[in-house]
Amino acid sequence: MEEERKIKCDCGQILIEKKADFDNFKTKAMVCPKCNFITLTRDQAREYIKLKRLHDIIDKESKIIKIGNSMGITLPEELKEFDIKIGKKVKLKALDTKTILIEI
Protein backbone atom coordinates (compact mmCIF):
# COMPACT_ATOMS: atom_id res chain seq x y z
CA MET A 1 0.00 0.00 0.00
CA GLU A 2 1.15 3.45 -0.87
CA GLU A 3 1.35 5.88 2.00
CA GLU A 4 -1.42 8.44 2.26
CA ARG A 5 0.09 11.71 1.12
CA LYS A 6 -1.62 14.97 0.48
CA ILE A 7 -0.93 16.37 -2.98
CA LYS A 8 -1.49 20.06 -3.45
CA CYS A 9 -2.68 21.45 -6.77
CA ASP A 10 -1.11 24.57 -8.32
CA CYS A 11 -4.40 26.35 -7.54
CA GLY A 12 -3.94 25.69 -3.82
CA GLN A 13 -6.53 22.94 -3.27
CA ILE A 14 -5.72 19.46 -1.97
CA LEU A 15 -6.30 16.74 -4.57
CA ILE A 16 -8.85 14.08 -3.63
CA GLU A 17 -8.96 10.46 -4.81
CA LYS A 18 -11.92 9.64 -7.00
CA LYS A 19 -12.85 7.86 -10.21
CA ALA A 20 -12.08 9.99 -13.22
CA ASP A 21 -12.54 9.55 -16.95
CA PHE A 22 -9.31 8.65 -18.67
CA ASP A 23 -9.21 7.48 -22.32
CA ASN A 24 -12.93 6.58 -22.34
CA PHE A 25 -12.90 4.59 -19.12
CA LYS A 26 -13.00 5.37 -15.43
CA THR A 27 -9.99 4.85 -13.20
CA LYS A 28 -8.98 6.00 -9.72
CA ALA A 29 -7.07 9.28 -9.88
CA MET A 30 -6.20 12.34 -7.81
CA VAL A 31 -8.54 15.15 -8.82
CA CYS A 32 -8.57 18.82 -7.84
CA PRO A 33 -12.07 19.73 -6.60
CA LYS A 34 -11.59 23.33 -7.76
CA CYS A 35 -9.91 23.30 -11.20
CA ASN A 36 -10.38 19.61 -12.10
CA PHE A 37 -6.65 19.01 -12.59
CA ILE A 38 -6.06 15.24 -12.73
CA THR A 39 -2.95 13.27 -11.89
CA LEU A 40 -2.12 9.67 -10.99
CA THR A 41 -0.08 8.33 -8.09
CA ARG A 42 2.32 5.48 -8.84
CA ASP A 43 -0.20 2.85 -7.65
CA GLN A 44 -2.99 4.49 -9.63
CA ALA A 45 -0.76 4.57 -12.72
CA ARG A 46 -0.06 0.83 -12.35
CA GLU A 47 -3.78 0.14 -12.02
CA TYR A 48 -4.48 2.39 -15.01
CA ILE A 49 -1.98 0.49 -17.21
CA LYS A 50 -3.58 -2.85 -16.25
CA LEU A 51 -7.06 -1.49 -16.88
CA LYS A 52 -6.02 -0.01 -20.23
CA ARG A 53 -4.57 -3.36 -21.31
CA LEU A 54 -7.81 -5.13 -20.30
CA HIS A 55 -9.88 -2.62 -22.28
CA ASP A 56 -7.62 -3.11 -25.32
CA ILE A 57 -8.15 -6.88 -25.09
CA ILE A 58 -11.86 -7.06 -24.38
CA ASP A 59 -13.55 -3.96 -25.82
CA LYS A 60 -14.64 -5.24 -29.20
CA GLU A 61 -17.61 -6.74 -30.96
CA SER A 62 -18.19 -10.45 -30.67
CA LYS A 63 -20.70 -12.86 -32.16
CA ILE A 64 -22.87 -15.44 -30.44
CA ILE A 65 -21.93 -18.92 -31.65
CA LYS A 66 -23.57 -22.33 -31.33
CA ILE A 67 -21.94 -24.77 -28.89
CA GLY A 68 -23.95 -28.00 -28.84
CA ASN A 69 -27.47 -26.95 -27.92
CA SER A 70 -26.24 -23.82 -26.17
CA MET A 71 -25.08 -20.40 -27.26
CA GLY A 72 -21.63 -19.11 -26.50
CA ILE A 73 -19.28 -16.21 -26.99
CA THR A 74 -15.53 -16.59 -27.21
CA LEU A 75 -13.06 -14.66 -25.07
CA PRO A 76 -9.65 -13.56 -26.36
CA GLU A 77 -6.68 -15.74 -25.38
CA GLU A 78 -4.84 -12.70 -23.99
CA LEU A 79 -7.20 -12.73 -21.00
CA LYS A 80 -4.88 -15.37 -19.52
CA GLU A 81 -2.73 -12.41 -18.46
CA PHE A 82 -5.56 -11.58 -16.05
CA ASP A 83 -5.82 -15.13 -14.71
CA ILE A 84 -8.93 -15.82 -16.77
CA LYS A 85 -8.56 -19.43 -17.88
CA ILE A 86 -10.61 -22.32 -19.26
CA GLY A 87 -12.51 -23.94 -16.40
CA LYS A 88 -12.59 -20.81 -14.27
CA LYS A 89 -15.97 -20.16 -12.70
CA VAL A 90 -17.64 -16.89 -13.57
CA LYS A 91 -20.89 -15.31 -12.45
CA LEU A 92 -23.34 -13.96 -14.99
CA LYS A 93 -25.75 -11.23 -14.01
CA ALA A 94 -28.34 -9.31 -16.01
CA LEU A 95 -27.97 -5.57 -15.44
CA ASP A 96 -30.77 -4.62 -17.80
CA THR A 97 -32.37 -6.08 -20.93
CA LYS A 98 -29.31 -5.08 -23.03
CA THR A 99 -26.45 -5.62 -20.59
CA ILE A 100 -25.03 -8.80 -19.07
CA LEU A 101 -22.19 -8.59 -16.57
CA ILE A 102 -19.56 -11.35 -16.38
CA GLU A 103 -18.03 -11.32 -12.91
CA ILE A 104 -14.68 -13.07 -12.65
Provide the binding-site residues for Zn ion, judged by CB under 5 A: 9, 11, 13, 32, 34-35, 37
The phi and psi torsions of 81 (rounded to 5 degrees) equal: -60, -25
Task: Tell me the C-alpha distance between 100 and 104, whole Å.
Answer: 13
Q: How far is the CB of 6 from Zn ion (least distance, A)?
A: 13
The smaller minimum CB distance to Zn ion, of residues 37 and 52, is found at 37
Which amino acid would we find at residue 78? Answer: E
The smaller minimum CB distance to Zn ion, of residues 22 and 37, is found at 37
Contact criterion met (CB below 8 Å) for 80 and 86: no
The smaller minimum CB distance to Zn ion, of residues 35 and 102, is found at 35
Q: How far is the CB of 31 from Zn ion (least distance, A)?
A: 9
Q: How far is the CB of 73 from Zn ion (least distance, A)?
A: 44
Burial of 40 (0-12, 13-18, 19+ CB in 10 A): middle
